[in-house]
Each structure stands twice: as C-alpha cells, then as structure tokens.
C-alpha cells in the first residue's frame, strides 16, 4: 500500500484526460448520492464543462499516480450575476480505488491556492448528503466551515438527499 501523497502529481486537465475523468465520475453518478446527477453525462458534456471553467481562467486539475489519472477537481462560477464574481464553487472526485491516499487533499489544496492567486474571495462546496461525513470532514480539514443545510433538496435512488453548504474564505 502506498503512503499518503506518495507520487501524486497535480496538473492542468487536458482534453485527452476526459475518458479517465468520465470513468471516475460515472462511478459516483451510477452508484452514489455524492453526485445528484442521475445519468452519467456524455463525453461531450464533460468537455463542455471543462471548457466553461477554463475559458474563464478557472483551474481544472487532475491528479496522477504513476501516470494514471486517479482524481480531478475544478472550480466554476458560482452564479452568473456580476456581484458574485469573486465567489466560486468547487468539485473534487477521487477514483474509488484511490481513496485515503491524499489525492483529494492534494487536488483541493492546489485548487484553493490557484483560486486565491486569481483573487477569488469565497469558495463554496455543495455536498450532497448531510450524512456524507467523510466529505464534510475533508472540507473542514482544509478550512471550510458549514454555512447551512438544505433539507430534502435532491431526490435520487428513491430517497430525498440533503445538501450541505460549506464555504472557505480565500
């Protein structure tokens, strides 16, 4: 077993990374309430999301171990109104086979750093499931604080899912 953070390389995502990124995300969509999408998006939709972020100069990162993508993270515009221009939302996904190795921490740490450098002031995490204690603890460990809970805000797998809002001042 690898030690935490051993051999994790963080870099900007490229179009050629999206088959692996889509594989990681598809697992969460199909098997969990971590994502509240009910059907995995098409490859083209994933590329569009990447382009939407990078066209706004927002980071979209991948984590690799031994040259293989094991996670990804990205920032995206919180809302389109100009008053929100200093606030961004983040998303982090780690391959189910690479949990607990520090991949998510490395990704979000770098994402936060890059967003600070771009003068963003607030970062929002929207966590599906008030019972998603691992994600809540993960975000707290990186300085996020819980800002609220939206009860029964999503419906997936025939059950209501709360949404936890966490924010970090950058």
φ, ψ of residue 100 to 5 degrees: the values are 80, 10
Task: Supply the pLDDT for residue 2.
Answer: 37
Q: In which domain, by residue range, is 81 found?
A: 8-169
Asked if the model's pLDDT at residue 127 lies above 60, the reply is yes
Q: Is residue 3 part of a domain?
A: no
Determine whether 71 is exposed, middle or buried from the number of CB atoms within 10 Å of its CB (0-12, 13-18, 19+).
buried
Q: How many domains does the chain have?
A: 1
Q: Is residue 1 part of a domain?
A: no
CA–CA separation, 107 vs 28, rounded Å? 18
Q: Is residue 50 part of a domain?
A: yes
pLDDT one-digit tens code per residue, 37-51: 999 999 999 999 999
Asked if the model's pLDDT at residue 166 lies above 60, the reply is yes
Task: Give the CATH number, domain containing residue 35.
Answer: 3.40.630.30
CA–CA separation, 8 vs 102, rounded Å? 8
**pLDDT band with cut points at 50, 70 and 90 for residue 1:** very low
Residue pointed to by tokens 């499931």: 129
The two most distant CA atoms of the chain are separated, in Å, by: 47
Task: Supply the pLDDT for residue 97.
Answer: 95
43-55 and 18-31 helices, crossing angle to 10° = 110
Task: Supply the pLDDT for residue 3.
Answer: 40
Q: Is residue 159 part of a domain?
A: yes
Q: Residue 122 forms beta bridges with which residues?
A: 87, 169
Asked if the model's pLDDT at residue 61 lies above 80, the reply is yes
Residue 83 CA neighbour count, 13 Å, CB half: 0
Nearest-5° Cα angle at 143, 169 to 25: 95
Sign of the dihedral defined by the CA atoms of residues 43, 45, 51, 53, in that order = negative
- Least confidently predicted of 3-12, 38-47, 133-142, 147-156: 3-12
Asked if the model's pLDDT at residue 6 lies above 80, the reply is no
Asked if the model's pLDDT at residue 55 lies above 60, the reply is yes
Q: Among 94, 79, 136, 77, which residue's Cα sits nearest to residue 4?
A: 94
Asked if the model's pLDDT at residue 4 lies above 90, the reply is no
Residue 143 CA neighbour count, 13 Å, CB half: 9
Query: Could you give the percent of the chain with pLDDT greater than 70?
Result: 96
Q: Is residue 62 part of a domain?
A: yes
Q: Is residue 120 part of a domain?
A: yes
């Amino acid at each position: 077993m690898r030690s935490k953070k051993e051999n994790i390389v963080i870099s900007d995502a490229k179009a050629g990374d999206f088959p692996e990124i889509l594989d990681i995300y598809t697992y969460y969509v199909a098997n969990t309430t971590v994502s509240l999408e009910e059907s995995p998006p098409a490859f083209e939709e994933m590329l569009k999301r990447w382009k939407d972020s990078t066209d706004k100069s927002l980071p979209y990162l991948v984590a690799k171990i031994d040259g293989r993508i094991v996670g990804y993270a990205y920032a995206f515009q919180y809302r389109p109104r100009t008053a929100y221009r200093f606030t961004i939302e983040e998303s982090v996904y780690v391959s189910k086979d690479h949990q607990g190795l520090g991949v998510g921490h490395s990704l979000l740490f770098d994402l936060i750093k890059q967003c600070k450098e771009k003068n963003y002031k607030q970062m929002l995490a929207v966590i599906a499931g008030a019972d998603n204690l691992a994600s809540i603890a993960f975000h707290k460990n990186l300085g996020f604080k819980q800002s609220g809970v939206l009860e029964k805000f999503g419906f997936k797998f025939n059950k209501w899912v709360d949404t936890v809002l966490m924010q970090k001042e950058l």
